[in-house]
Structure 1
């Protein structure tokens, strides 16, 4: 008789866990990556062209990988004005989930690259289930060196270890 309650609890937990799992065919609203420069260099010199290019490089890398894994990336046109007026979709008190819900997405994906210095950068990628708002996947890595190769290596590590098992 004690087996049934344990089985019922396990079944409920499995159903809740499955609700936040994603699989090929899942609709993902990728709202892009935000670059935050808290370095002294950024305070004095502003945005660097090479770092802006790297951010685009990473966004393309993420999009390509999600498509390769069979995910459906949502068209952001219906929320473009809201997204354009959002400074950081990764830190907007749930606005990213609301925008993704408007699109009919299953998941919302946002990320940040923070430059601490020209040597130390931190990047993160977070995916939330739109239905629950709960984190489905996430990872943060610190990288050393401000180059295309180091940025790409950092994001590939995030994708490989937290999102898609190779």
Structure 2
């Protein structure tokens, strides 16, 4: 019976449900591209990062999740370069906030043609990922970044059309 329940939970998209609280710690840009090394940070990419963070926050709110205020852990968060890979600091911050889940993401830019993005929802008690997806995108535009994140949200988190 337990196995059937576990399979059912997995098939329905995991244990997270609307009404749960989420500590969304943001999305980190990891840039190892030659373009940035030669020309410096492209301000348009920081704008794109904000676009997809806003998209994620708006979609979670539209689906009925409560995004928690990060002020109580802001000093901790400011000391971390990448909350998605900080040896469990994301889970510890989420626990401090009393969150049901922690949400972190990354966009890795290899070049203007090759980018990878991911979004992971974890259980703060165990640090285990309960939902998540990684996608590669080809082109460095507002539309490609938004399309990539919409795909992640649609296929890994909400299994359907946007609200």
**2:99 match:** 105
Gaps of 5+ in 2: none
How many pairs align? Answer: 158
Give structure 1 stretches of 5+ with no counterpart: 1-6
Task: Work out which of the two has the higher radius of gyration on C-alpha atoms and give 1 or 2.
Answer: 1
Q: Which runs of 4+ in 1 moved over 3 A?
A: 9-14
Aligned to 1:4: none
- Match for 2:3 among 10, 24, 27? 10
What corresponds to 2:154 in structure 1?
160
Match of 1:51 in 2: 45
Q: How does 1:115-130 map to 2 (within 5 A)?
A: 115-130=109-124
Matched residue SS, 1:31:
strand
Residues 78-125 of structure 1, C-alpha deviation per residue, up to 9 Å, x if partnerless?
Answer: 000110110000010000000000000000000000111011110000
Match of 1:99, SS state, is helix
Aligned equivalent of 1:82 = 76
**Alignment match of 1:33 (pick from 27, 30, 41):** 27
The TM-score with structure 1 as length reference comes to 0.89
Task: Look up the match of 2:66.
Answer: 72
